[in-house]
Amino acid sequence: MDPVFIAAGFVVLAIVYGVYRRYSYISLADVPGPESASFIMGNLKELYQGQAAEADFKWQAQFGNIVRFRGSFGEDQLMISDPAALQYILARSGYRFPKPHDRRTLSQMMNGKGIFSVDGDNHKRHKKIMLPGFGGPESKAFLLLFKNCAESMCNKWMEIISHSKEGSVVFNIPAWVSRATLDAIGEAAFDVRFNSIDNDENALARSYRGLMTDVFGSPSDGMLLFQDISKYIPPRILKYYIEMGKSPRITRMRETGNLATSVAKQLVKDKAEMLLGGKGSRDIFSLLAVKANMDTNAKAKLTEEELFAQMRTILAAGHETTSNTISWALLELARWPDIQSRLRAEIWETEATVHARGDVNFTIADFDAMPYTAAVIKEVLRLCCVAYHVHRCASQDDILPLSQPITTRSGEVIRELPVPKGTRIVVSIAAYNRNKELWGEDAHLFNPDRWLNGTAKEKKVTSIGVYSNLMTFLGGVRFCVGWRFAVIELQAFLTEIVGKFEFAPTDKTELIRREACLVMSPTIEGEVGNGVQLPLRVSLARRTGKGCQTPGCR
């Protein structure tokens, strides 16, 4: 065929395609949102350089639950906290809104090829294998173990306080709690004792300490820009860059990853020997490994590499999240002494019932009968959601349903929102958790009573969150597998800690920042370089009353 004729054919096809794209392309430019500060950086600095979700709350107040903002070089992106749109993105559309590939590469670098970094059928396989380890009965069985880990930490605090002249000590709370929760995850997930409460030198505990602030805290303009354009870099090249990169942040992440993998390999070896010797145990990993290796269907198995990655994922996801949540909880209780006292009163009252029936430890049924404790925990998870954002991407042109109509910049009222293929979506967990429609007019305030007086809409028509309709543990196909585990751990830790100690603010309390580093971690204004810090003054909780046998009684 004549080459000129072929070339002309291509040109015509290109023009037809160009015209088609021009008139079929869905634009987000008319969706309300903040003005872009610069063409190159868009709104990225405002969104990612402030404290965690600071921009989200500001934009939500100004523009509502659907906000169009600019990424780098004028790209339109969406920040969403609308319940119906989120239900559609996370649940109803299945895997049509996957994680963007740059986020998956990042997860892979942090945790290996585990559940965080896969999508579609592959993700279904991972989740199916993991879920049996995290069911209701499995998680409830860890209650005593969590209590014991919290008790070890409390015993250390008591010893230190007993040597202090003032009868109180300022502790950097997360430095202690993260060791206790690492011990808890070690034992619950792998039946291994890290003993990091007793041994501050534990290598894994030291390596995880401050990891997120070191790697993701205080991002420079260059880092933000790189993160935003990394979606255009082919996954293999991005992975190569991350694996070979020499920057201190990348090196820090890689070193922790290598250490976690070597711990995971040793655990797998020990566990395999135990299981072969017929000594199976009920820890999560034994359940997972047995399931992964015994399934006759090869497609339902995990490879050895995936198994290591799963362990790294559980180690990382299972202790920083709960540790930070407990630390934020104690900060709120220090700020609100009346709430702290009311919580302690319920804990002591239940403890008296437990002792009266001849028991030493609380059971799950006891927690079920503690409405104020439950309300405090829900309120902490709502207001201090440590995972404040997740990212998704539209894999095709799509239409988002909306809970409430929005008025576009040109004045049109729309009840559903068309989004073009490739749109990056920031799911604002934090903004959803402060949606006034769901949680009341005082949604920015720490007020556990909202869960008792019917203000909190736990059972809204558009139900999405797995726990009390909160978005904290996400919902839909990628809901947090560890949510029951986390809630029971919070119950056990808070009951133990608040039952024994009183928490008061220090002169640093008002300087505490909600540091945005993928997991919201506490730091101090002016001392961000010192890493995770949340100092509180801790003293023994004094009981009054005759016959009291417990520490702190007078």
In the bound state with ligand HEM, the residue whose beta carbon lies nearer, of 395 and 506, is 395
385 labelled as ligand-binding? no
In the bound state with ligand HEM, the residue whose beta carbon lies nearer, of 129 and 540, is 129
Bridge partners (DSSP) of residue 406 are: 414
Q: Which residues bind ligand HEM (CB under 6 A)?
A: 115-116, 127, 313-314, 317-318, 321-322, 325, 385-387, 390, 472-474, 478, 480-482, 485-486
CB of 484 to ligand HEM, least distance (A): 9
CB of 107 to ligand HEM, least distance (A): 8
DSSP 384-449: T-S--EEEEE-SS-EEEEEEEEEE-TTS-EEEEEEE-TT-EEEEEHHHHTT-HHHH-TTTTS--GG
C-alpha–C-alpha distance, residues 471 and 465, integer Å:
5
Give buried/exposed letters for 147-166 (b at 16+ CB in 10 A, else e): bbbbbbbbebbbeebeeeee
CB of 127 to ligand HEM, least distance (A): 5
C-alpha–C-alpha distance, residues 112 and 268, integer Å:
15
CB of 103 to ligand HEM, least distance (A): 7
In the bound state with ligand HEM, the residue whose beta carbon lies nearer, of 145 and 314, is 314
Number of other residues whose CB lies within 10 A of the CB of residue 488 = 22
Q: Name the residue number minimizing CB distance to ligand HEM.
A: 482
CA proximity to 41, closest of 237, 226, 177, 307:
226
C-alpha–C-alpha distance, residues 302 and 275, integer Å:
17
C-alpha–C-alpha distance, residues 92 and 123, integer Å:
16
CB of 488 to ligand HEM, least distance (A): 10
Please give, one letter per residue, the 3-state secondary structure of 264-299: HHHHHHHHHHHHHCCCCCCCHHHHHHHHHHHCCCHH
Chain-centroid distance of CA 31 in Å reads 29
CB of 409 to ligand HEM, least distance (A): 31
In the bound state with ligand HEM, the residue whose beta carbon lies nearer, of 41 and 426, is 426
CB of 16 to ligand HEM, least distance (A): 39
In the bound state with ligand HEM, the residue whose beta carbon lies nearer, of 376 and 486, is 486
In the bound state with ligand HEM, the residue whose beta carbon lies nearer, of 283 and 346, is 283
542-545-548-551 Cα dihedral, nearest 10 degrees = 10
Residue 237, judged by CB atoms within 10 A of its CB (0-12, 13-18, 19+), counts as: exposed
C-alpha–C-alpha distance, residues 379 and 183, integer Å:
26
Q: Is 525 in contact with 215 (CB distance < 8 Å)? A: no
In the bound state with ligand HEM, the residue whose beta carbon lies nearer, of 351 and 379, is 379
In the bound state with ligand HEM, the residue whose beta carbon lies nearer, of 116 and 446, is 116
The two three-digit tokens of residue 54, written as one number: 């600071």
Q: For 460, phi and psi rounded to 5 degrees? A: -70, 160
- Specify the DSSP element, H or E, that contains 171: strand 168-172
Most distant pair of Cα atoms in the chain: their distance: 104
CB of 131 to ligand HEM, least distance (A): 9
CB of 287 to ligand HEM, least distance (A): 12
118 to each of 99, 158, 230, how far by Cα in Å? 9, 45, 18
In the bound state with ligand HEM, the residue whose beta carbon lies nearer, of 107 and 423, is 107
What one-character DSSP code corresponds to residue 192?
-
The two three-digit tokens of residue 420, written as one number: 């073009």
CB of 184 to ligand HEM, least distance (A): 9
180-186-191-194 Cα dihedral, nearest 10 degrees = -70
CB of 280 to ligand HEM, least distance (A): 20
Contacts of 476 (CB under 8 A, 6+ apart): 87, 89, 90, 91, 92, 464
Annotated binding site: 480
Annotated binding site for heme: 480
